[in-house]
Amino acid sequence: MKQVIIVVPEGNATNLSSITGSFEILNGANEYWKMMGHASVMDIRLAGFVPELKMDVGFFSVFPVNIGDVKKADLVIIPSVSSDFENVVNSNGNLVDWIREQYKGGAEIASMCGGAFLLAATGLLDGKSCSTHWNAAADFRRLFPNVDLHIDKLITVQHGIYTNGGAFSFLNLILFLVERYFDKETAVFCSKMFQIDMERASQSPFEIFQTQKNHGDEMICKAQTYIEENLKEKISFEALASMLATSRRNFDRRFIKATGNTPVEYLQRVKVEAAKRTLEKGRKTIFEVMTEVGYSDDKAFREVFKKITSLSPLDYRAKYNRVGAGVGGYV
């Protein structure tokens, strides 16, 4: 029987739903598997270095078993943590060490959303790919520059390490693990029972591009502002660099360091974010939206939009337009 440990980090930033949701779905898979005439696959426990953790302003408490009593795990699940990521990592040094040693002992590790910060702190993600919530990308890249972050990915899999994107997308990771440890039929059963869409493969449609400017480079802040205020214009980055009294090469280098994007990527993302907001709010045609954000080539606009959001402009409008779908998605 596989020993599955859902770890309970110290501190009040742990997301309760990722703990309870993981437990319920895995336990449901185990019960279904036994109902089909098989022996139990998993022994699922919550474990941590604290005997009780009060969560959500004290309304809920979890009582993990002493993690020191867990000699060997087969699968370790790190729940989502939100905000103050650096402090979460610093206050969970013992847990980080324990996770690292479990992996070295043969356990597989799965992190959910911001749980990737604890996983990355082990060093096990260095040189590997991972995902986390798109809203935490800047903090993650700052703290763990040696990790290949892909916030467009819903799930990443590499050498027995699994990560997933943000918030309730952890449900898709758990379904993935159900199929991995049980079979496809059991994963489909859980998908139906818990009403989880198995087809999701990306969190790109949910990403809100944030033009963060707290990087401390005043010249690049000016460049960002210029780009954002001139979306309809054809921007020459050679001319922009000259206007800011620097070479194009130095401009590109500093821009990438400050924002994580090339100037061209940044321009595309700002344009697409503006297009998304317009598509969500009104009845404008795709052509009108396209020209509003400075595109004259229909094909180029659609290709860039789909590359960033994983949806075509038409599909995005159909999915998120409040006028067409009705308030809250109800007709």
Q: Which one, of 68, 143, 85, 73, lies nearest residue 109 by Cα?
A: 73
Model pLDDT, residue 205: 63
Tokens describing residue 88:
């979460």
The residue from 206, 229, 248 where one domain ends is: 206
**Tally of domains in the chain:** 2
Model pLDDT, residue 213: 80
Model pLDDT, residue 322: 63
- Please indicate, yes or no, if residue 211 is contained in any of the structural domains: no
Model pLDDT, residue 201: 64
Model pLDDT, residue 325: 47
For residues 82 and 9, what is the distance between their CA atoms, to the nearest angstrom?
12
For residues 136 and 132, what is the distance between their CA atoms, to the nearest angstrom?
7
For residues 89 and 128, what is the distance between their CA atoms, to the nearest angstrom?
19
For residues 49 and 52, what is the distance between their CA atoms, to the nearest angstrom?
9
- Residue 136 near residue 114 (C-beta atoms within 8 A): yes
Kindly state whether residues 36 and 111 are assigned to the same domain: yes
Model pLDDT, residue 329: 37
- Please indicate, yes or no, if residue 289 is contained in any of the structural domains: yes
Kindly state whether residues 245 and 109 are assigned to the same domain: no
pLDDT tens readout for residues 146-202:
999 988 888 899 999 999 988 888 999 999 999 999 998 999 999 999 988 876 666
Q: Which residues constitute the domain of residue 283?
A: 218-327
Residues of the chain with pLDDT under 50: 325-331
Sheet with 161-164, side-by-side order of all strands: 65-66, 42-48, 2-7, 75-78, 108-111, 161-164, 155-158
Phi, psi (degrees; rounded to nearest 5) at 156: -120, 145
- Residue 113 near residue 169 (C-beta atoms within 8 A): yes
Model pLDDT, residue 203: 65
* CATH, residue 251: 1.10.10.60
Model pLDDT, residue 202: 67
Give CA angle at 306 (260, 212), nearest 5°.
Answer: 25
Distances (CA, A) of 186 to 167, 260, 270: 23, 40, 42
pTM above 0.85, yes or no: no
- Please indicate, yes or no, if residue 268 is contained in any of the structural domains: yes
Model pLDDT, residue 154: 87
